[in-house]
Structure 1
Amino acid sequence: MAEIQSGVKRRKRGFERTSSLLNRRIQAASEARGFSQSKLLTHWEESVGPEIAAMCRPVKVSYGKGGFGATLTLLTTGAYAPMLQAELPKIRDRVNAVYGHNAISHIRITQTAPMGFAEGRAVFETDKPKPKPELTPETRSCAKALAEGVQDDGLRQALEKFAGSFLTRQKTKEN
């Protein structure tokens, strides 16, 4: 980045991805809770698996005075705590795989009541993506007609797929 005389940084390029603009802020927020790897927070389900992620969430990482190994604090409801206790070695191995070394030496489980957070309950399950609506034959033929003049097969197929998705979304918004 080029720096102007007033100390304000300017970008050299045109448009940038939102993720690249927010990386520093996300990293700072993660590090404030002790997470040097924000991937652990943002990709929790992929890090520990869907079964464990449905039972708990990482809250913070605290480091001891000696600097040997950190403690990961997990939040769960009371019913899941005994099951998580049995899975601690597996959780520790998976979390340390994210860090790339044995950063976490202890895991502490903290519990909350199922009806205790701001919205009235602690939810650990992630929302499943909605199934995509099926293309009707009418929509498919309309999309094919829109991409008809394109000579390149790959581009034509991509345009047909895009037009089909767009037309389907428009129909669901109208209904």
Structure 2
Amino acid sequence: MSQTPPDPTRPTGRRGKGFRPAASLLAARVQKAAEKRGFAVSRLLTHWPEIVGADLAAVTRPVRISHGRGAFGATLTLLTTGPMAPMVEMRLPELRDKVNACYGYNAVQRVTLTQTAAQGFAEGQASFAHRPRPAPPPDPAMREKAAEIAAQFTDPTLAEAMARLALNVSIRNQTKTLKG
């Protein structure tokens, strides 16, 4: 019994079983981009705040890993802003240990800092996440207005949520008028 050849216009097989996480769809592309910059482990790029800590991740970003000829160990180049460079430089041994813990062996021998714009992963983006300023405390009049709004509801959870919403809106409006 002979089989008929498959129709080229009709897709063959199943594409997958249900939904897949978005990270799995991009994993191959991220790995390929990371390898171009010398990163054998793309986890160093994708989980940078978890590896080095939130305080260092807020002021640094990995740019490249370069391997010297015949030398054991690589050089990790980090991007940082000018004022933060001396602070980061004091913590380079700690940072190197954390990166090597990610690799599982002493892969990085040196860490260098650069203050130029990043090339490759985030062209032209040299800004880092800064800590937001705390909001001004609400004045008593705002608290009274929020309590009046909350008193309209019988459910205590809903009343608390509405009071918080009223306070947040009034604080936001107050900061807008101060800035404007």
TM tier, shorter chain?
Answer: 0.5 to 0.7
Deviations 1:78-126 (A, max 9, x none): 111111111110000000111111111111111138xxx846xx32226
Q: 2:110 aligns with which of 106, 124, 134?
A: 106
Of 4, 14, 17, which aligns to 1:13? 17
CA distance in 1, matches of 2:37, 2:129: 22
The alignment of Structure 1 onto Structure 2 pairs a total of residues equal to 130
Q: Name stretches of at least 5 consecutive residues in structure 2 with no aligned partner.
A: 1-5, 118-122, 133-149, 159-164, 166-180
Larger Rg: 2
Q: Which of 29, 49, 52 is the aligned partner of 2:56?
A: 52
Give the 3-state SS of the residue equivalent to 1:15 in structure 2: coil
Contact 1:78 1:112 in 2 (8 A): no
- Measured in 1, the distance between the counterparts of 2:44 and 2:105 equals 14
1:80 aligns to what SS in structure 2?
A: helix
**1:97 is aligned to 2:97:** no
Q: How high is the TM-score relative to the length of structure 2? A: 0.59
Match of 1:85 in 2: 89
The whole-number CA distance in structure 2 between the counterparts of 1:90 and 1:9 is 51
Residue identity (%): 50
Change (3 A) 1:15 1:50: closer
Structure having the larger proportion of residues in strand: 1
Q: Runs of 5+ in structure 1 lacking a partner?
A: 129-135, 144-167, 169-175
Which residue is equivalent to 2:42? Answer: 38
- TM-score where L is the length of structure 1: 0.61
> Corresponding residue for 1:153?
none
Q: Which amino acid counterpart does residue 40 of structure 2 have in structure 1?
A: S
Shift of 1:75: 0.7
SS of residue in 2 equivalent to 1:79: helix
Residue equivalent to 2:177: none
CA spacing shift, 1:32–1:123, aligned 2, 3 Å: same
